[in-house]
Structure 1
Amino acid sequence: MRQFLKFFLASLLALIVFAVVGVFILAGVVGSVTAKKDVQVGEKAVLFIDLSKPIREQKQENPIADLSSEEQYDAPGLYDMVRLIKYAETDSSIKGIYLKCNDNPNGFATCEEVRNALLEFKKTKKFIYAYGDMMSQKAYYVGNIADKIYCNPKGGLEWKGFSIQYMFFKNALDKLEIDPQIFYAGKFKSATEPFRADKMTDANRLQSQELLNDLYERFLLNTAEQRSVDTASLHKLANDLAIQSTNDAVKYKLLDAGKYDDEVKAELKEKLGVKQENKINFVPIGKYEAAVNFKDGSGSDRIALIYAQGDIVDGKGGEGQIGGEKFRMYLRKVRYDNSVKAVVFRINSGGGSALASENIWREISLVRKVKPVILSFGDYAASGGYYLSCDADSIFAEPNTITGSIGVFSMMPNLSGFFKNKLGVTFDGVKTAEHASVPSISQPLSDIERRFIQNDVDSIYFTFLTRVSDGRGLSFAYTDSIAQGRVWTGSKGKELGLVDRLGNIQDAVDCAARMAKLKEYRVKEYPEPVSFLDKLLSGFQKVTKANTVKEDMIKEEVGEEGYRAYNSLKGIKAMMGMAQAKLPFEMIVE
């Protein structure tokens, strides 16, 4: 027994020592990772912006950057990026901006905000250069504001016009003997079309074409203004597929010249007065964010800026989602915070759960009773994204924001034929009431059950219309006429009364300050940053990394279009049995 106690106490002591040492090591690692870098911009700096990087609404932290052998920094959010470009206007260290223009995965409204910030920067007479090897249309849309825009002589500029293409699953569902059992309100509500038709309905074709025309017209007008080429000529170049090479783009004045990377860098060095053998001091936008204090503000008063991006879901939601419960708590927190004098709610969402949208709408209406609430629309503020917004004091959107889509749908797939005839699986059971098993994927809905669900969808649509009519000061009949699930651009939304003003996040913040009569204030952003230690303890990094790796592997295996189909099918589960206020599947403009 004595020998046992001896070994037990020795092992226990070793375990305690190991735990204490481990805590100190972990604390040291966390401390080194979370410590603020001493970052210097340096002399003759050129702000470097890679348009191929996704720009989210809120800053994306990279807490392990300090442990990497490569230079890595956080990814600024859209509002951060715009403010950084603004700050660079008066920063004597920054001599100009270099845009890397290959691809651009960002939405049109995001591109518009960045583009407008760059146009303001140009007024300082500092230079902007843009360069790409293979330049996409959306990358060109931002890059064409540059003083000089170059492309690899053996690369090229994409110039073919815009398109929207939907994927339809009806024939596949028929072959698999799956009945999607769809219910919807709004003749333009096309979110369920991929499952109930094998091609676009006339209503969807009409709204999609008009939406696309609006986006394309703005693209051509802004390009024409910068490149001094009329829009008719630009449109003809796309129709004729006249731009097949960099030389063609130069010939038709879309580009300034075809140059290799080293030639562009040599020109920049000469402009900066840097010796050819020396490197250019390129400062990535993330590094610049870490080096300068670009966020203005003073005083004790606050304007709350709440970022909401992603699908609207019930509950708390996950990363990249707008959880109804979580955002309800944010709004409740700022409502009771006496230091917060106004709220700007930034929404970038194609919608989702109708109930979660209603809950967020309710909280916004409560906040509005005690302080001003301004809505700022990003790439999307449609369906549920518009639902929760419509009771604001003022709504701002970009001209190419996609908004509207005021409609509702629900879907309850019946897989009984698939299970029985394809897999040999059948179902049986007992219940205490005739309809106790509804909803179920193992049996078709009866006529009374179908009427019950359709009535529910119609009731939610009626509530949606009422919210918009009351919030926007429009008649019910008029709201219904511009609703029906139809999507609009921000500029059309303003004409129709769905939007108050065309403008960016800063315009919305300025409006909030005016309404609250604030001369001095600070902007308080939500969701608040989560500490690296909290992320470690919750397993956040592990889960996020695992999900990212899994999605990257799927995308690599099935390709871009296959991945879209995968996401569309994956989205069916979330929609089953729940009323949805959501945009059509994967409205990708290319």
Structure 2
Amino acid sequence: MKEFFKYVLATIVGLIAVSFIGIFLMIMVFSALVASTEKPVTVADNSMLVIDLTRQVVDRATNDPFEDLELPTMFSSVKTIGLDNIAEALQNAVDDDRIKGVYLDLAMINGGMASVEEIRNALIAFKDSCDKPVYACADKGILGQKAYYLATVADKIVVHPEVSVDFRGLGGEMMFYTQALKKIGIEMQVVRHGKFKAAVEPFMLDKMSKENREQQLTYMGSLWNHMLKGISAERGLSIEELNKLADEVQTFSKGRKAVAKGLVDAASYKDEVLDDLREITGIEGTEGVPVIGVKEYVKAPSSGKGKKYSRNKIAVIYASGEIGVSLSGDEAIEGDKLGREIRKVRQDSSYKAIVLRVDSPGGAVFDSETIWREVKLAAEEKTMVVSFGDLAASGGYYISCAADKIVASPNTITGSIGIFGTIPNFGGLLNDKLGITTDVVKTNENSDLLTLTRPMTPYERQMMQNTIEEGYDTFISHVAEGRGMTKEAVDEVGQGRVWSGENALELGLIDQFGGLQDAIKLAAEIEGLDSYRTVALPTQVSPLEEMLKMGGGSVRARILKNELGDKYRYYEYFKKATHMNGVMARMPYDIYLN
């Protein structure tokens, strides 16, 4: 027996030693890989700056060391491109003689409409500041509608002869789970305020309510009309002509037909595109055209005059994802963490202003209230400007309404001022489907309040409704105070209704149109700053820290995203929906436009 324990102990010690050695070797390997990605970047003369929008567009460039490495699926990441990097690259390229033009690599854009608008405006500003051309090309698949809207700002739009332009108008589809839940014996008990608060409709109905259909048509019409105006101005086609083309559906009309209809300028093969690029860059013969991506270009030493160092700092604080709903591998806004970040900046005298960049469909009311309080306190001491990204709805609007100014794109999705609560009842599943019964012992009448194994009593439902009504009153009170409106006026445009940025400006929910750079300039203008520098917060972790914090949930999410592609969103939505417990201030649904 003594020998047995000796061998068991030796085996355990050996396993521990091997594990430590394995971890050490893994860190060494990944450190070497990370170091290989940090080599100095050089920009060749006569280069084209490539903006690859087949990548997922995010507000802020990531610090993920695995993103551009060819690694096994469990470690590889979804490739992204940051709006901040795009803006910086285009600004630098204006005076950089090494850059001769911008090449837009287009197909389907993995980003929201407001992100597209910001890139489009940055390209317009680039063209207005120099005589370098913007060349848009789609050489595979289908040129999606968002991608086409962006492409129309280019000096030349080229598609492969076998590529078609997807032009058919905007549409939306909702999934309803009521019948499926009924089949498995689950009842989703819903309490809400606002006839437009449609987040819970998938658990209550089997089709859209009249109010939900109305709100979708309103904001979708606003987005579409804004797109048509932009396309019309650049392509010389009237809005009536464009709507006719959309009604006829261009999705299956390939390259040369799109040229004939005036949607694009040329249907060209790869060799013909290269000839165009050689002409732009001044390269003769059959030599290759030097190109550099946005991510690499912003790391390269600048050839122009560097900006003077300024002691005046403007904090740009990013708030992206669901509020308080942190699921494995998903970005989320945690009330305490974001609140602490805002508080640190408020208490730091070196910061003259704060710009809060919000891209969120909302989430937990408690976290939203925590962040709102810090935004309000910050606005009382410093200039506080909020910049909306693709989404700033419900809780996303809640955390923003106390700011001095709100800036959004015409096609930002916002509003959704309302709250709801859900309590699932698994009694039918447990009792009828699985044969599991429950019994209760309690000291008082309502000690088993809001259990998940039976329906709510009338008393419990009324208590929930009272909580929702109080929460809604708090929400519209915050908005009324922050926006200088009456509670009645806020309620009129609230009720959970979703609006486009264009609608929101008319209703007084935002102050002006613009992207993040416009919000930063506005903050500097309010403060009267002639010179300033921006500091992006929260501080991103180092590549090594990013690797070390990667847990099982993150790895699982990476694998699913790589395997499912854009279909991952359906899994993600159902996952979020099943985690919606308690009181929420969230968008009615997730919106994806092609």
TM-score (norm 1): 0.90
- Which amino acid in the other structure matches residue 129 of structure 1? Y
- Which amino acid in the other structure matches residue 260 of structure 2? K
**C-alpha separation in 1, matches of 2:495 and 2:308:** 43
Confirm whether residue 77 of structure 1 aligns to residue 82 of structure 2: yes
Match of 1:54 in 2: 56
Confirm whether residue 530 of structure 1 aligns to residue 541 of structure 2: yes
Further displaced range: 280-289 or 543-552: 543-552
Q: Secondary structure at the match of 2:163?
A: strand
Runs of 4+ in 1 over 4 A off after TM superposition: 18-29, 64-69, 72-76, 293-297, 314-319
Deviation for aligned residue 1:75: 4.9
- Give the alignment of 1:26-425 within 5 angstroms: 30=31, 33-34=34-35, 36-64=38-66, 75-123=80-128, 124-132=130-138, 133=140, 134-242=142-250, 244-293=253-302, 296=307, 298-313=309-324, 319-425=330-436
Q: Secondary structure at the match of 1:337?
A: coil
Match of 1:552 in 2: 562
Q: Secondary structure at the match of 1:575?
A: coil
Deviation for aligned residue 1:497: 0.7
8 A contact 1:73–1:287 mirrored in 2:
no
Instruction: Provide Cα deviations, 1:313-357, integer angstroms capped at 9, x if missing partner.
Output: 168997511111110110111111121111000000110111111
Q: Secondary structure at the match of 1:194?
A: helix
Further displaced range: 376-385 or 291-300: 291-300
Confirm whether residue 495 of structure 1 aligns to residue 506 of structure 2: yes
Further displaced range: 107-116 or 564-573: 564-573
**C-alpha separation in 1, matches of 2:80 and 2:531:** 28
**1:25–1:499: structure 2 CA closer, same or farther, 3 Å change rule?**
closer
Instruction: Provide Cα deviations, 1:362-413, integer angstroms capped at 9, x if missing partner.
Output: 0111111211111000101110000010010111001111111000011111
8 A contact 1:375–1:389 mirrored in 2:
yes
**1:309–1:425: structure 2 CA closer, same or farther, 3 Å change rule?**
same
Deviation for aligned residue 1:575: 1.3
Deviation for aligned residue 1:129: 1.1
**1:292–1:144: structure 2 CA closer, same or farther, 3 Å change rule?**
farther
**C-alpha separation in 2, matches of 1:402 and 1:24:** 47
**C-alpha separation in 2, matches of 1:369 and 1:376:** 18
Q: Secondary structure at the match of 1:38?
A: coil
**C-alpha separation in 2, matches of 1:414 and 1:507:** 48
- Which amino acid in the other structure matches residue 234 of structure 1? L
Q: Secondary structure at the match of 2:56?
A: coil
**C-alpha separation in 2, matches of 1:21 and 1:30:** 14
**C-alpha separation in 2, matches of 1:111 and 1:155:** 21
**C-alpha separation in 1, matches of 2:29 and 2:248:** 62
Match of 1:4 in 2: none
Deviation for aligned residue 1:62: 3.6
Q: Secondary structure at the match of 2:158?
A: strand
**1:20–1:382: structure 2 CA closer, same or farther, 3 Å change rule?**
closer
Higher relative CO (Cα under 8 Å, sequence separation at least 6) belongs to: 2
**1:420–1:154: structure 2 CA closer, same or farther, 3 Å change rule?**
same
**1:450–1:288: structure 2 CA closer, same or farther, 3 Å change rule?**
same
8 A contact 1:315–1:325 mirrored in 2:
no
Further displaced range: 221-230 or 511-520: 511-520
**C-alpha separation in 1, matches of 2:143 and 2:22:** 53
Instruction: Provide Cα deviations, 1:198-225, integer angstroms capped at 9, x if missing partner.
Output: 1111111111001110000011111111
Q: Secondary structure at the match of 1:346?
A: strand
8 A contact 1:184–1:409 mirrored in 2:
yes
8 A contact 1:409–1:579 mirrored in 2:
yes
Deviation for aligned residue 1:77: 2.1
The gaps in structure 2 that reach 5 residues or longer are 1-8, 72-76
8 A contact 1:405–1:582 mirrored in 2:
yes
**1:62–1:206: structure 2 CA closer, same or farther, 3 Å change rule?**
same
**C-alpha separation in 1, matches of 2:489 and 2:145:** 37
Confirm whether residue 574 of structure 1 aligns to residue 582 of structure 2: no
Q: Secondary structure at the match of 1:48?
A: strand
Q: Secondary structure at the match of 1:33?
A: helix
Match of 2:458 in 1: 447
**1:242–1:158: structure 2 CA closer, same or farther, 3 Å change rule?**
closer
Q: Secondary structure at the match of 1:380?
A: strand
**1:249–1:19: structure 2 CA closer, same or farther, 3 Å change rule?**
closer
**C-alpha separation in 1, matches of 2:560 and 2:260:** 44
Further displaced range: 266-275 or 83-92: 266-275
- Which amino acid in the other structure matches residue 105 of structure 1? N
Q: Secondary structure at the match of 1:180?
A: strand
TM-score (norm 2): 0.90
Deviation for aligned residue 1:527: 1.4
Q: Secondary structure at the match of 1:126?
A: coil
8 A contact 1:314–1:324 mirrored in 2:
no
Further displaced range: 230-239 or 522-531: 522-531
8 A contact 1:314–1:356 mirrored in 2:
no
Q: Secondary structure at the match of 1:381?
A: strand
Further displaced range: 287-296 or 517-526: 287-296
**1:315–1:365: structure 2 CA closer, same or farther, 3 Å change rule?**
farther
Confirm whether residue 467 of structure 1 aligns to residue 478 of structure 2: yes
Deviation for aligned residue 1:81: 1.1
Q: Report how many residues are paired.
A: 574
**1:405–1:205: structure 2 CA closer, same or farther, 3 Å change rule?**
same
Instruction: Provide Cα deviations, 1:185-204, integer angstroms capped at 9, x if missing partner.
Output: 01111111111111111111
**1:254–1:19: structure 2 CA closer, same or farther, 3 Å change rule?**
closer
Identity %: 36
Q: Secondary structure at the match of 1:338?
A: coil
8 A contact 2:48–2:281 mirrored in 1:
no
Q: Secondary structure at the match of 1:333?
A: helix
Instruction: Provide Cα deviations, 1:440-468, integer angstroms capped at 9, x if missing partner.
Output: 22111100000000110111000001000
**1:357–1:296: structure 2 CA closer, same or farther, 3 Å change rule?**
farther
Instruction: Provide Cα deviations, 1:413-438, integer angstroms capped at 9, x if missing partner.
Output: 11101221122222223222232223
**1:65–1:191: structure 2 CA closer, same or farther, 3 Å change rule?**
closer
8 A contact 1:403–1:490 mirrored in 2:
yes
